Amino acid sequence: MTDIPFPLLVAFTFLFGCLAMLQLYRRQQDAQRSLPQRAEYLAVHAQQTPACSRCGAQETRDFGLHDGEDHRRVVACAKCDRLMYQYSREPAAID
């Protein structure tokens, strides 16, 4: 066996596992931020209405870039879950 104590091995494994998960999350966020705007997506794919470039489905789902109420929205295909484009909506007025 090694001379490194077991609790230290567990701590290092946990630390590096958390760092790996944060790196994956950061890559996902960067991919979402770099998506084209809706008009650019339609122009590149020569479409009038948005459709998935992978499977051709027109059903989409959208979600906030940072949270559910974010004004920056990311649109993905509802069928194959491919990220398509992003758009901005007006923030809801608070009464």
Q: Tell me the Ramachandran region of residue 84: left when phi exceeds 0, alpha when psi lies from -120 to 50, beta otherwise.
A: alpha
Looking at residue 70, what is its pLDDT? 81
Q: Look-up: residue for tokens 């209405």?
A: 49
Among positive and negative, which fits the CA dihedral 57, 58, 63, 64? positive
> Which of 37, 53, 47 has the alpha carbon at shortest distance from 88?
37
At residue 95, does pLDDT exceed 80?
no
pLDDT digits (tens, 9 = 90+) for 8-50: 999 999 999 999 999 999 999 999 999 999 999 999 989 899 9
CATH of residue 92: 2.20.25
Residues 23 and 50 in one domain: no
Domain that holds residue 17: 1-34
Mean pLDDT, the chain, as a whole number? Answer: 89
Q: How many domains does the chain have?
A: 2
Q: Whole-angstrom Cα distance, residue 8 to residue 13?
A: 9
Residues 50 and 94 in one domain: yes
Residues 24 and 48 in one domain: no
Residues 53 and 69 in one domain: yes
Going through 1-95 in order, the beta strands assigned E by DSSP cover 60-64, 72-77, 83-88
